[in-house]
Amino acid sequence: MVGGSLDAFIGEVHRKSAALDGAFDLVCGAFSSSAEKSKATGAALGLDESRVYATFNEMIETESRLPEEVRMQAVSIVTPNHVHFEPARQALEHGFHVIIDKPIAFSLDEAKQLKEITERTGLILALTHTYTGYPMIKEAKHYVDTGKLGTVRKIFVEYPQGWLSEPLEREGNKQASWRTDPTKSGEGGAVGDIGTHAANIAEYVSGLRITELSADVNITVNERLLDDDSAALLRFDNGATGVLMATQVAAGEENDLKLRVYGEKAGLEWKHSEPNTLLFKPLDAPVQILRAGTGYLSEAATRNTRTPAGHPEGYIEAFANIYMAFYHAVTDHINGELKPLSEYDFPDVDDGVRGMAFVKTMIASGKSDVKWYKVDY
């Protein structure tokens, strides 16, 4: 693991998710830019102190020289955005598979470089767009793929948070500080942090790609350096249109990502506050309430569910579903049995490139009076 010290948020989420199904062992790490923090984290996690490193460079170089049966096989990167590219690049160049927190990189150029490296090395890169791991999101995708909605015409996706309604970055809040710092987050604030999730889940479920957008991007908290509020009109590659909202200043909101997809025959609705429920809305019949863990769901939804109906699963399990899909791909790669990546069903480097292109286009559109901007992948 690169990043994820004891006082970090997302590192512990990754560790719990990777451990949930017993498929991964944490064997080494460079957990902080502070060598002392890294050492303390490794000790707390029970790691051999000889495999707790001061820097990710040292970790990757040293591990690559260990015997094959001992050294790490994959690297989990859970750092702020500006420390995504270099450890990912070095890991891939030294023969290690990579799973990385979103967005994939600091810039579109870095994302494209990672795509080139993964294609050249043939190694696996997974991206933790968590919400695509939920069973009922798998079911929603199945409904679209099997034609139950007919041709998709309209998509609404919204991601409201309220935690940055006040200037927490000026009060010592670590999570707020780097997310609102353009030298660490990149050119997008809310757009990069949660807008990428919204765009990704809209594309994943619908099977469509955003081709054009018209954005309104704002900074609402005085003296903040990056956007904390955004919205956009969307155009998709089949002619469908949509609306996306991503804001971190919706006071009182927690983390309620919501997706609605409408086709010519029916619609779907899912929201993060009730992740085990999917609403199916036929044009000529009553609304149907579909629930996780039930026997009538698709194979994809069932495969990504661990408990019977009425026993709720959530964020850690969705994360773990991505880790397990990554595990199967890496295992097959090691055994010389790798299938096309689409069969493993996890966000990959192409999703990462599209995410960074989305951020770049949103920011450019938000600064311009031109109505429509093409998303150049």
pLDDT in tens, 102-160: 999 999 999 999 999 999 999 999 999 999 999 999 999 999 999 999 999 999 999 99
Q: What is the pLDDT of residue 377?
A: 86
Summarize pLDDT for 24-49 with one digit per residue, the tens: 999 999 999 999 999 999 999 999 99
Instruction: Flag whether pLDDT at 7 surpasses 90.
Output: no
Alpha-helical (H) ranges within 291-343 are 299-303, 315-334
Rounded average pLDDT over 179-203 = 97
pLDDT attached to residue 235: 98
pLDDT > 90? residue 202: yes
pLDDT computed for residue 176 by the predictor: 96
With a pLDDT cut of 70, the percent of the chain lying above it is: 100
Mean pLDDT estimate for the chain: 97
Dihedral sign, Cα of residue 42, residue 47, residue 49, residue 51: negative
Q: What is the mean pLDDT of residues 268-295?
A: 97
The residue with tokens 């927190």 is 101
CA distance 150 to 244: 22
Residue 126, classed as helix, strand or coil, is strand
> Which pair of structure tokens corresponds to residue 313?
């699963």
Per-residue confidence (pLDDT) for residue 42, from 0 to 100: 97
Say yes or no to pLDDT of 244 above 90.
Answer: yes
Q: What is the pLDDT of residues 298-354, one digit of tens each?
A: 999 999 999 999 999 999 999 999 999 999 999 999 999 999 999 999 999 999 999
Nearest Cα residue to 234 out of 142, 104, 354 = 354
The arithmetic mean of pLDDT across residues 83-102, rounded, is 98
Contacts of 345 (CB under 8 A, 6+ apart): 138, 300, 325
| SS3 annotation, 174-200 | HHHHHHCCHHHHCCCCHHHHHHHHHHH
Domains and CATH numbers, the chain: 10-131+334-348 (3.40.50.720), 134-308+353-366 (3.30.360.10)
Range 58-85 average pLDDT: 97
Region class of 336: left (phi > 0), else alpha (psi between -120 and 50), else beta: left
Q: What is the pLDDT of residues 206-226, one digit of tens each?
A: 999 999 999 999 999 999 999
